[in-house]
Structure 1
Amino acid sequence: MNATVIPIGEKKAPSLEPLLALTAADMNGVNAVILERMQSKVGLIPELAGHLIAGGGKRMRPMLTLASAALLGYSGTRHHKLAAAVEFIHTATLLHDDVVDGSEMRRGKRAANLIWGNPATVLVGDFLFSRSFELMVEDGSLKVLKILSHASAVIAEGEVDQLTAQRRVETSEEHYLAIIGAKTAALFAAACRIAPVVAEAGDDAEEALDAYGRNLGVAFQLIDDAIDYASDEAVMGKDRGDDFRDGKVTLPVILAHARGSEADRAFWQAAISGARSGDDDLAHATRLIRDTGALDDTMERARLYGRRAIDALAAFPSGRAKAAMSEAVEFAVSRAY
């Protein structure tokens, strides 16, 4: 019998496989809802929406809704529609983001706005937002509706806040964390928090799973922002250096700017303002981020938030769901290594 031998001291790389296996059966139900509700008599809507929805995304957020329900021992099906609502909210924000950013790639494919244009992309995003609220209303829980509608408003606030901070190299670390807490972590938190509402698990479970999702969301975004300067398109599913060329002030930039020489800070001022955005400038920016330790420290910060996410699960009993959710955090912070 053949077996894979892992040398002593070598730790197996974390994977999403346990989370995928845990939620596979329920994801079939979620995918059926997504497929049904993205349909429209206006043919462009399912065509454009399907381009992104079928584009190979991990569907991390709806999986977290399903995994949180499994953690609580919930055995119903209400969470299928709600997980689909979470995915529609996420997809709508991606469509809108690509228009705002002028993105050329999304999930390794041409961005929808390049194929169908900005107006159609924005309007299909609006359609998906509307579908998500239909699903929430059908569920019938005002508490669920409050959680997801509030998250949608916070995400929009975060995106606008990011827009106002764009090309402002003096953006503080505190402001940056507030932006990613809103634009990314809010939906992770809401996706997890709705499960204990459906499972009637109580306020403590809600707070714990909110903390898990929120900390995971921050860690996830910190790694995304780091690998914009560390990885290639094949890893990221978008063009390397997009954040740099868009003038987005992320934690690697904030740290490198603060730690740099006067000449370095002058470079960052010019680069983030858009005056220096060529390939050579990106290469120089990447060197500065590495040489100042900004990249390593951003990743370490992500690991800190990851540990907080795992700690938030402490009150729940050990088992398959808890192990899968913990490993999902480890996977999220180990991407692109």
Structure 2
Amino acid sequence: MTATIHRLGRDQAPSLEPMMALVAEDMNSVNAVILDRMQSRIPLIPELAGHLIAGGGKRMRPMLTLASARLLDYSGTRHHKLSAAVEFIHTATLLHDDVVDGSGLRRGRKTANIIWGNSASVLVGDFLFSRSFELMVEDGSLKVLKILSNASAVIAEGEVNQLTAQRRIDTDEEQYLEIIGAKTAALFAAACRIAAVVAERDEKQEQALDAYGRNLGIAFQLVDDALDYESDGATMGKDAGDDFRDGKVTLPVILAYARGSADDRAFWKAAISGHRISDEDLTHATGLLRSTGAIADTLARARHYGQRAIDALGMFGNGKAKAALIEAVEFAIARAY
């Protein structure tokens, strides 16, 4: 599979290991900031925040900030606090998402809303958002503040857009791409772009890193949406079929509905409206997704956006940082195989 996206002859599966090794020292500094800034005199806040922050996440978004800074040969330390701000924004949105979706599992563990309740999860999410803005203000760059605050607003818009599209089988591919471009790709893009700001690079390099992050984010979400039907809870770290039961109209469903027979379309209408959500219905849905090629075509689109992400790095010189950023794209796609 990986040969179709970038290069031939890889002996082993793509991994995030090169990027993790590249930024390991910087990541220690970021983790120290995260640990420090999630503290509060209200014990529930660090307890609940720590449950998610320490819950085995890959820290992909802050790593992208650090790796992008390394790509640009930035030698300062401003990106440490900003990477922590990126992770706090991401964590806050996860806490809020799990409440909205009523999720029971996150990264293979019980979600915070199941353990502490919805109210506490929402409020601690608000706390982490506030901490992220404190870190941005401390950095002192209005441009960084503008990029990250805009991304935060766009993420919220994406989540509301998704909510309005929920249980609506007439959601089209354009709206779907708009949703994932906002709720997932916007933070990937901002995380990469701010590295160019702190490294004082020109607008062209800023835009290139923005394009890399944005296309990677779209590819990442497309794979996630395919895996919701093809994977299991142990692999995904969440309940398999969550999107199906929640009535989320993702690209696999959009394609299968468009290609289905009258009976198939009637099934999808009933399923997305919440009337056909048993395990047997999920099995039937997965069968339809496979027979119509909807899963395969969703992953083909993911490879397309992955290649666009790699192409966006074309202006930068070769080296460990560029190779690690390319392999991060390959890893995002390879999760489906």
TM-score of the superposed pair, with normalisation by structure 1: 0.97
Residue pair 1:31, 1:84 contacting (<8 A) in 2 also:
yes
Aligned residue number for residue 253 of structure 2: 253
Query: Could you list the per-position Cα deviations for residues 82-119 of structure 1 after superposition, in whole angstroms to 9, with x for gaps in the alignment?
Result: 00000000000000000000000001100000000000
Q: What does 1:177-326 align with in structure 2 at a 5 Å threshold?
A: 177-326=177-326
- Displacement, 1:235? 1.1
Q: What SS class does the counterpart of residue 76 from structure 2 fall into?
A: coil
1:169 and 2:169 correspond: yes
Q: What is the letter of the counterpart of residue 224 of structure 1?
A: D
- Displacement, 1:336? 3.4
Residue pair 1:215, 1:308 contacting (<8 A) in 2 also:
yes
- Displacement, 1:194? 0.2
The sequence identity of aligned pairs, in percent, is: 78
CA–CA separation in structure 2 for the residues paired with 1:213 and 1:235: 24
Aligned residue number for residue 102 of structure 2: 102
Q: Unmatched 5+ residue regions in structure 2?
A: 1-7
Aligned residue number for residue 142 of structure 1: 142
Query: Could you list the per-position Cα deviations for residues 158-184 of structure 1 after superposition, in whole angstroms to 9, with x for gaps in the alignment?
Result: 000000000001100000000000000
Q: What SS class does the counterpart of residue 228 from structure 1 fall into?
A: helix
1:129 and 2:129 correspond: yes
Query: Could you list the per-position Cα deviations for residues 285-315 of structure 1 after superposition, in whole angstroms to 9, with x for gaps in the alignment?
Result: 0000011000000001000000000000000
Q: What is the letter of the counterpart of residue 119 of structure 1?
A: S
- Displacement, 1:9? 5.6
CA–CA separation in structure 2 for the residues paired with 1:298 and 1:86: 28
CA–CA separation in structure 2 for the residues paired with 1:226 and 1:312: 25
Would the alpha carbon gap of residues 275 and 206 (structure 1) be closer, same or farther in structure 2, given more than 3 Å must change? same
CA–CA separation in structure 1 for the residues paired with 2:336 and 2:311: 24
- Displacement, 1:202? 1.1
Query: Could you list the per-position Cα deviations for residues 21-64 of structure 1 after superposition, in whole angstroms to 9, with x for gaps in the alignment?
Result: 00100000000000000000000000000000000000000000
Q: What does 1:318-337 align with in structure 2 at a 5 Å threshold?
A: 318-337=318-337
Q: What SS class does the counterpart of residue 229 from structure 2 fall into?
A: coil
Q: What is the letter of the counterpart of residue 211 of structure 1?
A: A
TM-score of the superposed pair, with normalisation by structure 2: 0.97
Aligned residue number for residue 4 of structure 1: none
Q: How many residues align?
A: 330
Aligned residue number for residue 67 of structure 2: 67
RMSD across aligned C-alpha pairs, in angstroms?
Answer: 0.9
Q: What SS class does the counterpart of residue 277 from structure 1 fall into?
A: coil
Q: Which deviates the most, 11-20 or 315-324?
A: 11-20
Q: What SS class does the counterpart of residue 243 from structure 1 fall into?
A: helix
Aligned residue number for residue 82 of structure 1: 82
Aligned residue number for residue 58 of structure 1: 58
CA–CA separation in structure 1 for the residues paired with 2:11 and 2:66: 28
CA–CA separation in structure 1 for the residues paired with 2:86 and 2:206: 17
CA–CA separation in structure 1 for the residues paired with 2:16 and 2:125: 28
CA–CA separation in structure 2 for the residues paired with 1:204 and 1:186: 18
CA–CA separation in structure 1 for the residues paired with 2:268 and 2:140: 50
Q: What is the letter of the counterpart of residue 306 of structure 1?
A: G
Q: What is the letter of the counterpart of residue 305 of structure 1?
A: Y
Runs of 4+ in 1 over 2 A off after TM superposition: 8-11
Aligned residue number for residue 154 of structure 1: 154
CA–CA separation in structure 2 for the residues paired with 1:97 and 1:13: 31
Residue pair 1:235, 1:336 contacting (<8 A) in 2 also:
no
Q: Unmatched 5+ residue regions in structure 1?
A: 1-7
- Displacement, 1:10? 6.4
CA–CA separation in structure 2 for the residues paired with 1:70 and 1:197: 13
Residue pair 1:72, 1:199 contacting (<8 A) in 2 also:
yes
Would the alpha carbon gap of residues 297 and 36 (structure 1) be closer, same or farther in structure 2, given more than 3 Å must change? same
Residue pair 1:306, 1:329 contacting (<8 A) in 2 also:
yes
CA–CA separation in structure 1 for the residues paired with 2:334 and 2:165: 28
CA–CA separation in structure 1 for the residues paired with 2:299 and 2:59: 23
CA–CA separation in structure 2 for the residues paired with 1:148 and 1:114: 29
